[in-house]
Amino acid sequence: MIFFLETNVYQFFGRFHAIIVHLPIGFIVLAVLFELISLKKKTDLNLAISYAYLVGALSGVFSIILGLMLASDGDYNETTLNIHKWTGITMTIVAFLLFFIKRKQEALFWARKSYPVLVTLVVALLFVAGHNGGSLTHGSDYLFEHAPNPIRTLAGMKPVRERVIDLDSALVYEDVIHPIFESKCNVCHSNDKAKGDLLLTDAESIMNGGESGAVIVGGNAKESELYRRITLSPTHKEFMPTEGRTPLSKEETMLIQWWIDEGASFDKKVVELNISDRMMICLKDVGIGLEKTFIERLDLKAVEDNVIAAIEAQGFKIKPITGNSTLLEVAYSPYRKDSITSEKIEVLLQARTNIVWLDFSSLNLQVDLIAKLGQLENLVELRMSNTNLTDVGMKAIESLTHLEYLNLYGNPISDVSLESLNKLSSLQKLYLWKTNISEEGLKNIKDHLQEVTVISGI
Ligand code: HEC
C-alpha cells in the first residue's frame, strides 16, 4: 500500500466505476433479451436467465462499491447523485430477487405473479440509473447538446443562441467569454459537477464565486482568483484547467484579462469596450470581426418560386448553395438529350444576381451563349472544362471579376487570353491543364494574380 500514500486511493479505484458499471447493464439487458427469446421460441432458457441476473447483480455490487468511492470526492450535483445512487442500489437488489424467483417461478404462485412486475421494474431502474449516471459524468446537457432547438426545448433546455461574430453586434460575454468557459472549463464547472463549488455557466453563478469566495474583481484582472488560476505555471497544482485538459490559448487568456479589466460586463457589446490593436487580433483569433468573404457580404432577396420552376423546366438543376441561403448553384447535365441553348440561358438569367456557382462542364458551348454568361455578375465558381471555350469566348467572360474558382481544363484557349485572365483579380484557383497556354503564359498569370494557385499539369 506504500504506493498509495501520496495518491487518493478512493479516487484511483473510484474512477473504474465508469467502466465496471457497464457489466450489470449488459447482463441485465441480456437476461431480458433471453426472456423475450424464450417467450417467442417457447424454449426453456430459465437457467441462463437466472444466472444472467445473478452475474448482473454481483457486478452491480462491485459497481456500487466503486461508485461510492468515486462519489466521496463530493463535487457532484447532489440530487442527480442521490437519484443515481439509490436507483442503482435498488436495481441491484431487484436483480438478486429476480435470480431467486426465476427458478421458483413454476412452483410458487406468488413468484409467478411478481416476476413480470420485477422485470419491468429492473428495466425502468436501469434506465433512470444509467441516464443520471451519464449526466454526472458528461453533464445533464450532454445528450441533447447538439440536438436541434425544437428537441432541446422538449428536453427542457434553453435554445442555443446563434453566436454573433460580427464585430459591431457581438456581445463581450455571450459571444467571446462564455464560449471559452464552455469549451475549456465547464466539463468541471457546470451544474452537475461544480468543482471547487464554482459554476462558470452564467453571470450570477460566476459572480457568486467558489469555495474561496469571489473569483472575479471587476476592473482588476490581477486581483481576480480566476485570472490567477489561468496564468499560473501549468505544472502548479492550482493551475486551471486541471488534469491535463487543454489549457487556454494565449489569445483566450488575454481576452479574459481584457474582459475583467474592462469591468467584467455581462451585457455590453464588444465595441463598447476599449479595443487595442492587440485585442483586435485576439478577437479575430476566436472568430469575431473577421472580414467577410464576397459571398457572405451578398445580401439578396430570394428568387421567386415561379422563376425557379421556369429555370428547372429548361433542364437546369438549381438549388440553394446551403440550407436556406438565397444564393444559388446551377448545373446542366452533359447527358441530357436536349442540348443547352441561348434561349435557355435567357430564362436562367432571370435569377442572374443570385447565381454564385455554375457548372457547365463538358457542354458544347457556342460563343453567343458564352457571351451571355458575362452577365452573371456575382459568379464566384465557374466550371467550364471541355466546353470548346476559345479566346473569343474568354474575352466575353472577363467581366466576371468576383470569380474565385475557374476551371478551364481541356479548352483551346491560348496566350491571347492572358489579358482577360489577368483581369480576374479575385481568382484563387485556376485550372489550365490541357489548354494551349504556354509556360511563359503561366508565369505571366502568376506574376499578375499573386493570390492564385494555377493547376496546369506542368
Ligand atoms: C478537469 C476539471 C476542471 C477543469 C476543466 C477546470 N477546473 Fe477549475 N477547478 C477544478 C477543481 C477540482 C477545483 C477545486 C480545487 C481547486 O481549488 O484547485 C477547481 C477550482 C477552480 C477555481 C477556484 C474556485 C474557488 O473558489 O476556490 C477557479 C477560479 C477555477 N477552478 C477556474 C477554472 C477555469 C477558469 C477553468 C477553465 C479555463 C477551469 N477552472 C477548468 C477542476 C477543473
Instruction: Look at residue 458 in the predicted model and tell me its pLDDT.
Output: 65
Task: Find out whether 393 and 420 touch, Cβ atoms under 8 Å.
Answer: no
Q: Measure the CA–CA gap between 31 and 119, rounded to whole angstroms.
A: 10
Residue 238 burial by CB count (10 A; 0-12/13-18/19+): exposed, middle or buried?
A: exposed
Instruction: Look at residue 175 in the predicted model and tell me its pLDDT.
Output: 93
Q: Measure the CA–CA gap between 27 and 33, rounded to whole angstroms.
A: 10
Ligand 1: residue of 76, 199, 229 to mutate (most ligand atoms within 8 A of CB) is 229
CA of 450 to the centre of ligand 1 (A): 48
Q: Is 252 in the pocket of ligand 1 (CB under 6 A)?
A: no
Q: Is 216 in the pocket of ligand 1 (CB under 6 A)?
A: no
Q: Measure the CA–CA gap between 115 and 226, rounded to whole angstroms.
A: 55
CA of 229 to the centre of ligand 1 (A): 8
Identify the sign of the CA torsion 59, 64, 70, 76: positive
The set of cell numbers assigned to 140 is: 445533464
67-74 long-range Cβ contacts below 8 angstroms, 24+ apart: 67/14, 67/17, 67/21, 69/10, 69/11, 69/13, 69/14, 69/17, 70/10, 70/11, 70/14, 70/15, 70/17, 70/18, 71/14, 72/10, 72/14, 73/10, 73/11, 73/14
Q: Whose CA is nearest to atom 22 of ligand 1?
A: 196
Paired sense of beta strands 453-455 and 429-431, if any: parallel
Instruction: Look at residue 323 in the predicted model and tell me its pLDDT.
Output: 84
Instruction: Look at residue 296 in the predicted model and tell me its pLDDT.
Output: 84
Q: Whose CA is nearest to atom 4 of ligand 1?
A: 241
The set of cell numbers assigned to 324 is: 436556406
Beta bridge partners of 210: 213
CA of 417 to the centre of ligand 1 (A): 63
CA of 195 to the centre of ligand 1 (A): 6
Ligand 1: residue of 232, 239, 240, 250 to mutate (most ligand atoms within 8 A of CB) is 240
CA dihedral (96, 102, 103, 105) in degrees, to 10, reads 130
Instruction: Look at residue 64 in the predicted model and tell me its pLDDT.
Output: 95
Ligand 1: residue of 8, 183, 189, 286 to mutate (most ligand atoms within 8 A of CB) is 189
Q: Is 120 in the pocket of ligand 1 (CB under 6 A)?
A: no
CA of 198 to the centre of ligand 1 (A): 7
Estimate to the nearest angstrom the gap between the alpha carbon of 329 and the chain centroid: 25
Q: Is 170 in the pocket of ligand 1 (CB under 6 A)?
A: no
Give the chain's residues under pLDDT 50.
Answer: 1-2
CA of 187 to the centre of ligand 1 (A): 10
Q: Measure the CA–CA gap between 47 and 43, rounded to whole angstroms.
A: 11
Q: Is 198 in the pocket of ligand 1 (CB under 6 A)?
A: yes
pTM of the predicted model, to two decimals? 0.56
Identify the sign of the CA torsion 226, 164, 282, 187: positive
Distances (CA, A) of 121 to 48, 117, 373: 20, 6, 69
Paired sense of beta strands 405-407 and 429-431, if any: parallel
Instruction: Look at residue 406 in the predicted model and tell me its pLDDT.
Output: 96
Q: Whose CA is nearest to atom 3 of ligand 1?
A: 188
CA of 186 to the centre of ligand 1 (A): 9
Q: Measure the CA–CA gap between 49 and 448, rounded to whole angstroms.
A: 78
Instruction: Look at residue 42 in the predicted model and tell me its pLDDT.
Output: 84
Q: Which residues contact 390 (CB under 8 A, 6 or more apart)?
A: 367, 411, 412, 413
Ligand 1 atom, smallest distance to 238 CA: 18
Q: Measure the CA–CA gap between 96 and 60, rounded to whole angstroms.
A: 10
Q: Is 241 in the pocket of ligand 1 (CB under 6 A)?
A: yes
Paired sense of beta strands 355-359 and 381-383, if any: parallel
Question: Which residue intervals of 165-236 are DSSP H helices?
Answer: 178-184, 203-208, 225-231
Q: Is 255 in the pocket of ligand 1 (CB under 6 A)?
A: no
- 37-67 pLDDT per residue, tens: 998 988 888 899 999 999 999 999 999 999 9
CA of 241 to the centre of ligand 1 (A): 6
Q: Is 243 in the pocket of ligand 1 (CB under 6 A)?
A: yes
Amino acid identity for residue 116 in this structure = P
Q: Measure the CA–CA gap between 406 and 422, rounded to whole angstroms.
A: 12
Task: Find out whether 425 and 401 touch, Cβ atoms under 8 Å.
Answer: yes
Sheet holding 317-320, edge to edge: 317-320, 328-331, 355-359, 381-383, 405-407, 429-431, 453-455
Give the residue from 386, 396, 431, 434 showing the smallest Cα distance to 445: 431
